[in-house]
Amino acid sequence: MGDLHFTLAAGTYDRTQPLRDGSVKPDGCTLTYLEMKPMELFFRVVRYAEFEITEMSFSTHIMQTQLGNSRYVGLPVFLSRSFRHSSFYINKNKGIEKPEDLKGKTVGVPEYQMTAALWQRGLLKDEYGIEPWEIKWRTGGLEEAGREERMALNLDSKFDVAPIPTDKTLSGMLAEGELDAVICPPVPSCFTNGHPDVGRLWPDFRPAEEEFYKNTGMFPIMHMVGIRNDVVEEYPWLPATMYKAFRQAKDVAIKNLEFGAAACATLPWLNADLRRTRAVMGHDYWQYGLEENRKDIEAMIRYSVEQGLTEPGVKPEDLFAESTWTTTKE
């Protein structure tokens, strides 16, 4: 009997490259790797569940799990993680000099429910005492007009969330002063183009992000992996098999980073940066696994409730296949 064939849709990462090029092969499986950007991928996952194995928005998965309509079984494989102090952009004419100054302001965000924004609002509440309903949230496309939430929201009336005009963008409105600030993972063009009125809330963000990690022990999770329910029903062994393969692929990526003779990425101080990262976050700084990331996951579930996206009741175990709850060391 030959290998079973599955489609894996995900972004371009060093930690998945071994699955893409076949140097890491899941037991009994052959993969077709569809390389896709998150915005398109997540929309198609939520609306159509097209892919058998896929990268997913963690925030969306929490919401769908709570509603009981998730079409995917999660794996505690976190393909994207990122500190988000660097992703607060401000109009310099709005009197915003510190995070507390965002209270009462009008802030743009591509989608209210997106995972980056979940963490950023959680940061504002936990570290600076700003409740999510104390900011006016305006949603829409960062560079292209007309973006909509990929999932319908059912927010309490105390949350002021509304779309921007369909002919405008968040970047343009920030530059023109129609928004006080924008939070978003991509860098807005108004910032990269050097608009004089646009800056970062944390201009020197790395020390702030390192301090956040030292204080909380959390490395914010953005994206996870899911396997479609019907596939798991037919092949119940697949979650554990893919979990093992994703861990092996990440191990290859880390070993490539450690190889000092020739840089695996186009960065001159790559090896020094790896040493700095480990000095702050420990040797195994990009961990997969439920127990290894329980604190982060519990925080995300709490944020989702506090921000009006879900009702209480979701537990970390509800988000993942039972066969992946414990990490087996090879």
Does the structure show a pLDDT above 70 at 261? no
Question: Comparing 327 with 80, which gets the higher pLDDT?
Answer: 80
Say which residues have a Cβ less than 8 Å from residue 189's Cβ, sequence separation at least 6: 143, 171
- The span from the CA of 279 to the CA of 214, in Å, is 11
pLDDT one-digit tens code per residue, 106-156: 999 999 999 999 999 999 999 999 999 999 999 999 999 999 999 999 999
Q: What is the mean pLDDT of the chain?
A: 96
Q: What is the rounded average pLDDT of the residues 251-272?
A: 87
pLDDT one-digit tens code per residue, 187-239: 999 999 999 999 999 999 999 999 999 999 999 999 999 999 999 999 999 99
Domains of the chain and CATH, by start: 4-81+220-324 (3.40.190.10), 85-216 (3.40.190.10)
pLDDT one-digit tens code per residue, 291-328: 999 999 999 999 999 999 999 999 999 999 999 998 76
Exposure letters 34-65 (e unless 16+ CB within 10 A, then b): eebebbebbebbbeebebbbbbbbbbbbbbbb
Q: Provide the pLDDT confidence category of residue 263 given band limits of 50, 70 and 90.
A: confident
Does the structure show a pLDDT above 80 at 288? yes
What percent of the chain has a predicted confidence (pLDDT) above 70? Answer: 98
- pLDDT value, residue 265: 85
Contact assessment for residue 165 and residue 48, using Cβ atoms and an 8 Å cutoff = no
What percent of the chain has a predicted confidence (pLDDT) above 90? Answer: 95
20, 22, 26, 27 alpha-carbon torsion, rounded to 10°: 160
Does the structure show a pLDDT above 80 at 260? no
Nearest to 52 by CA among 170, 200, 227, 187: 227
- The span from the CA of 47 to the CA of 133, in Å, is 28
- pLDDT value, residue 225: 98
Q: How large is the angle between the packed helices 205-216 and 270-281, nearest 10 degrees?
A: 30
Both tokens assigned to 8: 């894996």
- pLDDT value, residue 92: 98
Q: Provide the pLDDT confidence category of residue 330 given band limits of 50, 70 and 90.
A: low
Q: What is the rounded average pLDDT of the residues 79-104?
A: 98
Q: Which residue has the tokens 């190889």?
A: 259
Q: Kindly state the DSSP code that residue 257 receives in the 8-state scheme.
A: H
- pLDDT value, residue 299: 98
- pLDDT value, residue 329: 65
- Is residue 245 packed enough to be buried (19+ CB in 10 Å), middle (13-18) or exposed (0-12)? buried
- The span from the CA of 89 to the CA of 101, in Å, is 13
Q: Provide the pLDDT confidence category of residue 2 given band limits of 50, 70 and 90.
A: confident
pLDDT one-digit tens code per residue, 6-42: 999 999 999 999 999 999 999 999 999 999 999 999 9
